[in-house]
Amino acid sequence: MPEYQRALVWFRRDLRDHDHAALYHALECARQVFCAFVFDRDILDALARPADRRIEFIHASVTALQQALQAKGGGLIVKYGIARNEIVRLAAGIRADAVFYNHDDDPAARVRDAAVESALNARDIAVHHSKDAVIFEREEVLTASGTPYSVFTPYKNAWLKTLTPHDLQAYPVDACVDRLAARSTDIPALQDMGFAPTGLKLPTGMAGGAQLLDDFMDRIDRYQAARDFPALKGPSYLSVHLRFGTVSIRQLAAAAWQRGGRGAQTWLSELIWRDFYHQVLWHRPDVAAGHAFKQQYDTLPWPNPPGHFEAWCEARTGYPLVDAAMRQLNQTGYMHNRLRMVAASFLTKDLLVDWRLGERYFADKLIDFDLAANSGGWQWAASVGCDAQPWFRIFNPVTQSEKFDAQGRFIRRYLPELARAPDKFIHAPWKMSAAEQQGTGCVIGRDYPAPIVDHAVQREQALALFKSAVSWSGAG
């Protein structure tokens, strides 16, 4: 790599000062390295509401990143504007010879980055971009015929065969921190950008990610057994930190790889799923625009019965596990992974609502929203994506509830109106007699909704919908 006098590192979804590919490469080959982050109005202006947990998380994490870089003798220039303009203007202003940043495979980000690279090259400023957010990306894990995988298990097997210790090594950023430029700017307040505090109750920044990782490593051996039960402390809760890069994917994968055992292996498999969905997005960017991976289902005639989507969004379906999951999402910006599958299956297979509506709702509400994983997960649940849940397997919301929240602990946490319902009725409270409903203080239809649909009836309708698609498309 050439040597430069000055370089600019553009931070995006990688808000940490360690094990950072672009920062390391810049420090390695430039005598002076400036760091920048842009609150991008192309993204922020499209957000629907001022109280957005993601922006508060990013703001706190950018503040922590600036402080960490300053502690190393450097700084962080923070701008609020159109990123594709601000970065070019800043690079020219500091007379940078090169700009370094890490890959972002979201289609809109690819368009933005191409525009930035073109504008920088027109000013004789070099551009270097690096893999950082995943272990393997793009064309690194392909089939023997050189095509991308569309089924997870063969991809996982190839991923594991490809992996070497080198792939998990951290970038030694601290070896060259004396080259950091001590230039910072004030960070605009949330209110100055049109946003409001949300009372975020989540550890933020690099310290928050490290805290959650330490906590998870103490219980990772139980992960495989506990991860499907929403009332238990089973997940890592690191998804938002992975999304914004306040932890390193190499650190997480290395921790799982080195730990071994069923829990760590199961968690590593979840990290591989993340790589898989990012690879799918790279090769099929159309899936981010609402197109089904399985193209024969792209025009599936979803009935979209009036009121069903709204009832799902507002936790008024009458199915307690689904409603509790939606209240968790609406109140916290997080939803347990098992419940994401249950809620998505219920919307598409029970309520017969187009999966794209649910995907957009999650995109708006989830603090850990990741385009690749959200699109992949929704298409999986709706049986229209790669390696999808077969369309003839349909989650029963009551049996899912009985299996994964047997005592109704999670349901009672988010549906206090059902707090006094006996365990045998907590999953289907409409089965209580009128006297039992009066005794528990929860009359169905008054204090808690009656079921919006009959699962058995809807299951048959969903099967008929997909059978018709198979017959007229010639799909097998």
Measured at the CA of 207, the angle between CA 203 and CA 209, to 5 degrees, comes to 60
How far, in Å, are 105, 131, 224, 234, 401 from residue 229 at the CA level? 32, 34, 10, 7, 10
Q: How far apart are CA 312 and CA 324, in angstroms?
A: 11
Q: How far apart are CA 391 and CA 275, in angstroms?
A: 24
Q: How far apart are CA 10 and CA 20, in angstroms?
A: 11
Active site residue 472: no
Active site residue 355: yes
Q: How far apart are CA 103 and CA 266, in angstroms?
A: 27
Q: Given 302, 330, 402, 417, which residue is catalytic?
A: 302
Q: How far apart are CA 121 and CA 295, in angstroms?
A: 38
Q: Given 337, 402, 417, 436, which residue is catalytic?
A: 337
Q: Given 85, 137, 257, 270, which residue is catalytic?
A: 270
Q: Is 7 within 8 Å of 26 (Cβ atoms)? A: yes
Measured at the CA of 326, the angle between CA 420 and CA 464, to 5 degrees, comes to 105
Active site residue 85: no
Residue 192 DSSP class: G
Q: Is 318 within 8 Å of 446 (Cβ atoms)? A: no
Active site residue 270: yes
Using CA of residue 73, residue 76, residue 77, residue 83, what is the dihedral sign?
positive
- Concatenating the DSSP letter of every residue in 418-443 gives GTTS-TTTTTSGGGS-HHHHHHHT--
Active site residue 378: yes
Q: Is 274 within 8 Å of 134 (Cβ atoms)? A: yes
Q: Given 355, 374, 391, 396, which residue is catalytic?
A: 355
Q: Given 10, 282, 312, 378, which residue is catalytic?
A: 378
CB neighbourhood size of 95 (10 A): 9
Helix (H) or strand (E) segment spanning residue 151 = none
Q: How far apart are CA 113 and CA 105, in angstroms?
A: 10
Q: Is 124 exposed, middle or buried (0-12, 13-18, 19+ CB in 10 A)?
A: exposed
CA 228 to chain centre: 18
Measured at the CA of 390, the angle between CA 387 and CA 393, to 5 degrees, comes to 145
Q: Is 249 within 8 Å of 134 (Cβ atoms)? A: yes
Classify strands 126-130 and 4-11 as parallel, antiparallel or unpaired. unpaired
Q: How far apart are CA 111 and CA 114, in angstroms?
A: 5
- Tell me, what amino acid is at 102? N
Q: Given 10, 159, 267, 273, which residue is catalytic?
A: 273
Active site residue 267: no
Active site residues: 270, 273, 302, 337, 355, 378
